[in-house]
Amino acid sequence: MAPLRLRHPGGVVTIQVDFDGFTVQDLQQEVLAVTNIPLALQEYKAGYPPHSLTVIPELPLESLGLKPGEQLIVSAKPGLQAQFSSTPTANIPTPAARYAPSPSQPPPASASTSGPDYVEVEGGYLVHRIVPDDNACLFSSVALVFEQGIDKASDIRQIVADEIRADPINWDDAILGRPREDYIATILKPSSWGGAIELSVLAKHYATEIASVDVETGRIDHFTPPPEKDTGNRCILIYSGIHYDAATLAPMLDAPSDFHQTVMPVTSQGNNDPILVAAKKLADKLRAKRAFTNTATFDLKCEVCGQGLKGEKEARAHASETGHVKFGEY
Q: Is 302 a catalytic residue?
A: no
- Taking the C-alpha atoms of residue 237 and residue 141, their distance in angstroms, rounded to an integer, is 7
User: What values do phi and psi take at 298, rounded to 5?
Assistant: -70, 145
Among 2-16, 151-165, 201-215, 271-285, which stretch is predicted with the lowest mean pLDDT? 2-16
Average pLDDT over residues 152-180: 94
Q: What is the pLDDT of residues 279-306, one digit of tens each?
A: 999 999 999 888 766 655 667 777 778 8
Which pLDDT score is estimated for 70? Answer: 85
Which of 8, 260, 318, 324 is the catalytic position?
A: 324
Which of 117, 128, 133, 243 is the catalytic position?
A: 243
Average pLDDT over residues 214-232: 92
Picking from 45, 58, 15, the residue whose alpha carbon sits closest to that of residue 175 is: 58
pTM given for the model: 0.60
Which of 137, 245, 260, 318 is the catalytic position?
A: 137
Q: Is 243 a catalytic residue?
A: yes
Q: Is 8 a catalytic residue?
A: no
Domains, the chain: 2-76 (3.10.20.90), 114-288 (3.90.70.80), 296-329 (no CATH)
Q: Is 134 a catalytic residue?
A: yes
Greater model confidence, 175 or 106? 175
Picking from 300, 293, 297, 295, the residue whose alpha carbon sits closest to that of residue 327 is: 300
Which of 18, 20, 134, 284 is the catalytic position?
A: 134
- The letter for the amino acid at 187 is I
Parallel, antiparallel, or unpaired for β 244-250 and 233-239?
antiparallel
